[in-house]
Every structure is written in structure tokens, then in C-alpha cells.
């Protein structure tokens, strides 16, 4: 049995806590509190971390951690990404500038992204189709990287599983490459 530590990060309100809660086999650990920032239409927000566990069909276990989204908690991003084998970045396409949001996390996790795979999940595309997935791909390639980008609704367990599968496939491919 293998264990993977996967980190969920991304925009406030993009659904990091929801995603982890949707697939976790155990009651998730959540540190959400009342939100005081009126620019965010959200009653509660994560200020510490989220945690959940998922056992895959092959017995491997995925330990999922979630970060707070706000940049003022960037000190926690650096702590939580330690020993992570992959990163899931969730973006809310209904926000004013989702590509700038993406750039924030690409920059905040730039050191980790040199060595670990990443998958980007974009939410609310059905109501906010712009920027498109191609726009995201272009923005990411501009930083010299290539990541899978998926349109997701993290309220659906299957979408979260798809994000994790995509990430784990990259991880397997990377490990395979190292072993060759």
C-alpha cells in the first residue's frame, strides 16, 4: 500500500473544503471560521487546514490537505506543501480575474511545482465560460509548464475523483520516468 499526500489549494470559494469533504472516507478535519471580508460572498472561510483521507480501489491511500485560499495565509501554503506529492489548484471562473488568481498560486507554489505534478480544476464554467480552458493552458504554458486543466464541479464526487486520478496518473508517469 502506498500513501500519497495531495494538497488542494486555490481561490477562496472555489471549493477546496467541499472537494475534500466530498471524497474523504473519514469525517474531514475543517478549520473554517466566520468570514469578515465583505469582498467575499461567503459566510465561513478556512484559516488553518482541511484534511481528509481516501482509500483507492487498489488499497493505496490518499491523504488530502487543503490550504486557506487568501494570500495572507501564504505562510501556511509553504508549510502544508512540504512532502506533498501533488498539487490540485481550484479556480473559481466567476471571480473578476481568474487568470490572475491562477498566477497567484503558480507563483506561491513555484518552488514546489518544480518537482511535483499539478492539476488545475476550474469551477463554475457552465455559467462563466470565459476564460476558457485554452486560455488557462496558454497562461500556464507562459510560465514554461504544462498541467492538465479540467472543468469541474467539486460538489460532484466523480469530478473530484477525476482531479485526483489525473494527478496520480502524472505522478505514476513521473515515477516511471525516474525508474527507466
Partner 1 sequence: MTVSHGLSKTATALAQREARKLVDELNGVTAAVIATIDGFSVASAVTGGLDPARVAAMTSSIVAISGVVSEEARLGRQKSVIVQTESGFAVFCSVYRRDVELVINVIAGESAVLALVSYRAAQLARTLADTSPFHA
Question: Per CB under 8 A, does 34 bind partner 1?
Answer: yes
Closest to partner 1 by CB, 51 or 128: 51
Question: Per CB under 8 A, does 49 bind partner 1?
Answer: yes
Closest to partner 1 by CB, 48 or 56: 48
Quote the cell numbers at residue 119. 492539476
Q: Which stretch binds partner 1 (CB under 8 A): 58-66, 69-77, 89-97, 128-136?
A: 69-77
Residue found under cell 479540467: 150
Q: Which stretch binds partner 1 (CB under 8 A): 29-37, 89-97, 136-144, 149-157?
A: 29-37
Closest to partner 1 by CB, 66 or 121: 66
Q: CB under 8 Å to 11, separation ≥6 — which residues?
A: 69, 90, 91, 92, 95, 98, 101
Closest to partner 1 by CB, 34 or 114: 34
Question: Per CB under 8 A, does 48 bind partner 1?
Answer: yes
Q: What is the bridge-based pairing of β-strands 118-123 and 3-10?
A: unpaired
- Say how many C-beta atoms besides its own lie within 10 A of residue 27's C-beta: 8
How many residues comprise the chain? 180
Q: What is the largest CA-CA distance in the chain?
A: 52
Q: Which stretch binds partner 1 (CB under 8 A): 24-32, 96-104, 108-116, 123-131?
A: 24-32
- Say how many C-beta atoms besides its own lie within 10 A of residue 173's C-beta: 11
Closest to partner 1 by CB, 37 or 111: 37
* Collapsed DSSP state (helix, strand, coil) of residue 161: helix
Give the span between the Cα atoms of 59 and 1, in whole angstroms. 6
Q: Which stretch binds partner 1 (CB under 8 A): 26-34, 88-96, 109-117, 151-159?
A: 26-34
* Angle, in degrees to the nearest 10, between helices 16-23 and 157-179: 90
Question: Per CB under 8 A, does 143 bind partner 1?
Answer: no
Q: What residues line the site for partner 1 (CB under 8 A)?
A: 29-31, 33-39, 45, 47-49, 68, 70, 72-73, 75-76
Amino acid at each position: 500500500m502506498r500513501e500519497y499526500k495531495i494538497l488542494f489549494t486555490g481561490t477562496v470559494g472555489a471549493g477546496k473544503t467541499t472537494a475534500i469533504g466530498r471524497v474523504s472516507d473519514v469525517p474531514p478535519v475543517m478549520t473554517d471560521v466566520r468570514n469578515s471580508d465583505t469582498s467575499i460572498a461567503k459566510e465561513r472561510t478556512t484559516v488553518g487546514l482541511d484534511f481528509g483521507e481516501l482509500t483507492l480501489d487498489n488499497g493505496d491511500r490518499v491523504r488530502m490537505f487543503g490550504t486557506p485560499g487568501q494570500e495572507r495565509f501564504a505562510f501556511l501554503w509553504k508549510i502544508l506543501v512540504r512532502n506533498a506529492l501533488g498539487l490540485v489548484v481550484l479556480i473559481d471562473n466567476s471571480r473578476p480575474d481568474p487568470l490572475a488568481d491562477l498566477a497567484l498560486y503558480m507563483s506561491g507554489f513555484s518552488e514546489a511545482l518544480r518537482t511535483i505534478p499539478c492539476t488545475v480544476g476550474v469551477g463554475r464554467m457552465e455559467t462563466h465560460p470565459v476564460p476558457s480552458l485554452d486560455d488557462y493552458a496558454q497562461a500556464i504554458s507562459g510560465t514554461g509548464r504544462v498541467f492538465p486543466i479540467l472543468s469541474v464541479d467539486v460538489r460532484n464526487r466523480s469530478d473530484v475523483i477525476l482531479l485526483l486520478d489525473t494527478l496520480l496518473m502524472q505522478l505514476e508517469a513521473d515515477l516511471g520516468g525516474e525508474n527507466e
